[in-house]
Chains A and B, each alone.
Chain A
Amino acid sequence: MTSARRAAAEAWAFRARVEQEAALRFDQLAAIVAGFDPGSPVPAMMRGAADDERRHTELCAGLAEGLGSPVALDPGAELPPIAPRSLSARQAALYEVVAACCITETESMATLTTLLAGEPEPEVREVLHEISRDEVVHARIGWAHLSRESVAAEVAFLGPLVPGMLAGTIDPGLFGPPPPDEDPEGLLRLGVLPLAKKREVFLGTLEQVVFPGLERFGVDAGPAREWLARAGTPG
């Protein structure tokens, strides 16, 4: 097996697990948000997103298996809470929506757009295209909820907490060197960004989409910018 095929198999298997977790998260958050904002369109969108993510799980697992990495998903998987314990239930829901949608789904959308701008193999392109159609909505869910909460509740508390969200999102090796056997062209054909491109997309999305978006709704992105400056500095 080539290095690109092996790395892509692992990436798609990882994505299958990520999508499975996302389905659970959307189901949980839909019930919570409906409890304090019954007029919001967000809970219904989240329930639809959960169904999307279950479909994405199968798509990603199918590609992983085709590349030689069968995925064993745990049907009883549970989702640990990620919000600080000091937050109220409503604040914790906002924390989780911002981490999952405003950051992670927005970053995923940038990754998908970049991959689709290249020349992935036809089967990979089909999956990327189907997933990207849904991920647009999933990212918007986060910005829709943050915009509503910025009117109804206090959202400034999120500012100092965004670095924790970012630290929990990235791979430990994002700011390090690529693997010595990395095959950038092979990876792109199989739907995976080479490390340097991944870093470029991650940083560009934070600086030009996520941080301005947070600031638009009253969340100070200063602490996140400081965290990013430290995280991206070697040594």
Chain B
Amino acid sequence: MQFKKLFQVLVLGGAVIGASAGCTQANAQEKGKKPAADAGTTGSSGGGVKGW
């Protein structure tokens, strides 16, 4: 398994795609926003996605 190659193809390749189109709108509200204090610590802490 060539993890280094996967990093280059997926992570760096994805970043190039993300940067290739128009800049995303900077959202001042979101930029400074912190999630509520209970994020990740209560019954609503979130889950994951099953895969292969």
Q: Kindly state whether residue A129 has any CB partner on chain B within 8 Å.
A: no
Question: A41 at interface (Cβ–Cβ under 8 A)?
Answer: yes
**Is A143's CB under 8 angstroms from B13's CB?**
yes
Closest beta carbon of chain B to A34's beta carbon, Å: 12
From B4, B18, B34, residue with most partner A Cβ within 10 Å: B18
Chain B minimum-CB-distance residue to A33: B24
Q: Answer yes or no: A149 CB below 8 A from chain B CBs.
A: yes
* B residues less than 8 Å from A205 (CB atoms): 3, 6
Interface residues of B in 1-37 (CB under 8 A from A): 1-4, 6-7, 9-15, 17-27, 30-37
Interface size on A, residues (CB 8 A): 74
Residues on B with C-beta less than 8 A from A145 are 18
Take A104-B51, A148-B18 as given contacts and tell me if A114 and B1 are in contact as well, using a CB distance cutoff of 8 Å.
yes
Q: Closest residue of chain A to B8, judged by CB?
A: A209
CA distance in complex: A86, B45 (Å):
9
Given contacts A108-B52, A147-B19, A161-B46, contact A36 B14 (CB under 8 A): no
Q: Is the CB of B49 within 8 A of A169?
A: yes
Compute how far the CA of A37 lies from the CA of B20 in the bound complex, rounded to whole angstroms: 14
Contact with B48, one of A103, A111, A112 (Cβ below 8 angstroms): A103
| Contacts from A to B (Cβ < 8 Å) | 14-15, 18, 21-22, 25, 36-37, 39-42, 45, 82-88, 90-91, 95-96, 99-100, 103-114, 117, 136, 139-149, 151-154, 157, 160-161, 164-170, 201, 204-205, 208-209, 212-213, 216-217
